[in-house]
Chain A
Amino acid sequence: MRNCIIILLIVGLVSIWGCQPASKDKQEAQRELKVAVAAPFTGNAAAFGEMIKRGAELREKEINDAGGINGMKLTLIFEDDAGRDAEASLVAERIASNLQILAVVGHFNSSCSLAGKPIYKRAGIVELSPGSTNVTVCEGSDWTFRNLYRDDFQGQFIARYIDEVLTDLQSVAVFFDNDDYGRGLRNAFVEEAEKIGLNLVADEAYERDSTNFKAQLTSIKAKNPDAIFISGLYGQAGLIVKQGRETGITAQFFGADGIDSPDFLTIAGPAAEGTYLTTPFTFGAAGEDAQQMATNFEALHGMAPDTWAALTYDAVGMIAEALEKTYNQEASVRDNRKAIRDHLASLDTPEEGYVGVTGITYFDVNGDTVNKPAYVKIVEDGQFVAADQQLLDLN
C-alpha cells in the first residue's frame, strides 16, 4: 500500500513536471519569434560567419528596440555549419525539427545551402541565403531564396571586365577551389572567356584544406598569364596571392565575392595590393540608409561592416517584414512557416521588392535575385576601395 502511494506520488510529480515546460513554451512562443541564422562561425570561412553574425545582431537589436514585430520580440538563434556541407545537413535537421524556429537566414557557403536545401524543403521552412552564389542553389526548391546575384552572372561579369576594361590583359589563368562555389564560378568564367576570346592558358584546382600552393603556382607561372583569376575563398586566396608573389608571379590577380573579407587583406599582407575583386555590394557606392547602417554597426561592434554584414542585415529584415505581415498566433507552425515563404515568393517585381541597404531585392520563380549589380573593388593601401572603372552597363 505504501509502495502504491509512493508510485502514485512519483507519477503525479512527473506529470506535473512534464506539464510545466509545455505551458511555459506556449507563453514564450507568444512573446518571441525565433529565426535561425546558419553560417560558418568556425572553420575556413569563419571570418564571413563573424560578420554575418554581427550584421544579424544589429538588425535584431534595431527591430527589438523599435518595439519588436507586432509587439513580439525577435530572437535569433545562431547555428554553426563550420562551412562544411556534412555539418550543414546536421544543422538543417536540427533547425527543421525545432518547431519554434520560423525561418532560416543562411547558409553562407553554396555547398552548405545545397546540403540544407532538401531538408528545409521537406520540413517546409524558408532558407534565405545572404551569401551563396552557386547557380543551382535555388533550383528545385520553393523554399530556398537568396538576396544576391548568381555565379553565372558574376563569372561572366569578371571575364567581361578583364576583356573590356583591363584591355592589356590578354591571357588568363584560372585557379579554383574544388567545391560547389569555386567550380561553379570557374565554369561560368571559362565559358564566357572562351566566348569573348580571352586566351585561357592554365586551369588549375586546389583543395580547401591546402595551405601550400607553391607547386601549382610554379606551373601556372611557367604558362606566363597576364591575369590569374582565383575562384575561391579569402583564406586560400590570401595565401595564393602571397605565395604567388614569392614565387615571382607578376600577373594581375583577380578574385570574386569569396575574397571580399578583411581577412583576405591580413592574410595576403602587402601582396594583396592591386588585387581586383567583384562583390554584390559596396558601401562606397551605396545610399544614405547604408551609410546609416554602417554608423550604427560601428557603434555596436566597434568595427566597419563588410558586404556580408549588409546582406545579412537585409535578409533578417526581409524575414522580419514577412513575419510582421503574416504571423498569426492562432495558426500552426507549419502554416506560419508557409506564410513566410508565400510572402517572399510574392515579391516578384521591382515595385513589390524589399527595399534594403543593399538595394531592392525581388525574386524570380526560382527564388533567385537577378536584378542586383556587381561592383568591382581593388585593394589600395591595404584597403578595399571601389575601382575607378565599373562596368555597370552589363548589369
Chain B
Amino acid sequence: MAQFLEQIINGLVLGGIYALIAVGYTMVYGIIQLINFAHGEIFMLGAYIALMLITVFGIPFWVALPLSMVLCAMLGMLIDLVAYRPLRNAPRLSALITAIGMSLALQNLARMIWSARDRQFPTQLLPTIFQGQNAISLPGGGTLPYRDVCIILLALVLMIALNRLIYLTKIGKAMRACAQNPVAANLMGIKTNQVIAITFAIGSALGAVAGIMVGLSESVTPTMGYYKGVAAFAAAVLGGIGNVTGAMLGGIIIGVAEVFGAGYISSGYRLAIAYIIMIVVIVIRPSGLLGKSTGTRA
C-alpha cells in the first residue's frame, strides 16, 4: 500500500510535467493546426537557460525561474515569427516540416553550445525546498521530497491560471475566437497574428517551467526535449488535441501509466503502456478524451 501511494506520487510528478508541456502543443494546434515539434526544444532550452542564469550569472533560483520563462516566451514568439508566420497560408505539411527542422536545429544548437553531456543544477545554489534530500516522511517508510510537492502544486496552479486566462480574460476570448475561425476572428477586428504570438509565448513559458522541473529532479541534456516532448505530445492527443483541459488530463494519465508500467510490469514497457492507452482511447474516441468531434477542423 505504501508502495502504491509512492508510485501514485511519482506518476503525478511526471504527469504534472507532461501536462505543462502538453498544453503548449495543444494551444498552438488549437489555433493554427500546427504540431509544433520545436516545443520540446523550448522546454529543453528553458532548463538550460535557467541553469546558465544560476551557474554562470549567479542569479538566485527564484529570479532565474521567471526570467527563463520570459526568455522562452520571447524565443517561442521569435520561432513563430521567423519559421511559421511566413507559412501561415502555405499547405499544412510545409509548416509541419519546418517545425521538425526547427526542432532538429535547436537540438543541435544546444549540443554545440553546451555539449552532449548531462548537466545538473548545483544543489547548493538551490532554495532548500528544491533540494531533493529534504523530504516529508510518508506512512509506511516512504519519502516525498518537498521538490516533488512543489512540482505538483506548481503544475496545478499554472493549469488553473491558464484555464482562467482562457475563459475569463479578453485575450482568452480572442484565443478561443481564433481557434473557432481565424478568418472570422480577423474580420471582427482581432489581430490574429498577435493572438498567435501570445499563444506561443504562453505555451513556451509553461514549457520552460516544465524544463526546469525536469532539470531539478533528473538532468539537463540536449535530447531531453525529444523524449519528454514525444510523451507530452501523446498526452495532448490523448486528451483531445486543441483542448487545454484535455491536455492536462492526458498528461496526468500518461504520467501515471508510465510509472505504473515501469514499477509494476517492466521498464521496457514504460512508454509502451502509456501509448497503448493512448491508442485505445483514440480508436474508441478519435478526437481524444475531451476533444470535440467536428468534422472539418482538427
Contact = CB atoms under 8 A, between A and B. Distances in A.
The answer to whether A binds B is yes
B10 A205 contact: no
Given A238-B118, A246-B143, 14 more contacts: A210-B270, A215-B11, A215-B263, A215-B270, A216-B263, A221-B3, A239-B218, A242-B132, A243-B132, A246-B132, A247-B6, A267-B120, A270-B123, A270-B133
B262 A215 contact: yes
7 closest A-B pairs by CB: A215-B263, A248-B143, A215-B262, A211-B218, A215-B259, A246-B132, A214-B10
Interface of B: 2-3, 6-7, 10-11, 13-14, 111, 115-118, 120, 123, 132-133, 135, 141-143, 145, 214, 217-219, 221, 223-224, 227, 258-264, 266-268, 270
Which range holds the interface residue count of chain A? 35 or more
Contacts of A238: 118
Contacts of A235: 118, 219
A263 interface: yes
Contacts of A270: 123, 133
A64 interface: no
Contacts of B2: 222
Nearest to A204: B267
A14 B133 CA distance: 70
B140 to A, nearest CB: 9
Interface string A219-237: 1011000000000000100
B260 A215 contact: yes
A266 B267 contact: no
A207 interface: yes
A94 B111 CA distance: 24
A248 B141 contact: yes
A263 B221 CA distance: 14
A212 B268 contact: no
A239 B219 contact: yes
A192 B227 CA distance: 36
Contacts of B115: 42, 46
B266 A212 contact: no
Contacts of B145: 246
A206 B267 contact: yes
A211 B227 contact: yes
29 contacts: A42-B111, A46-B116, A46-B117, A205-B267, A209-B223, A212-B217, A214-B10, A215-B11, A215-B258, A215-B259, A215-B260, A215-B263, A215-B267, A216-B263, A218-B263, A219-B3, A222-B2, A235-B219, A238-B118, A239-B218, A239-B219, A245-B132, A247-B6, A248-B142, A248-B143, A263-B118, A267-B219, A269-B120, A270-B133
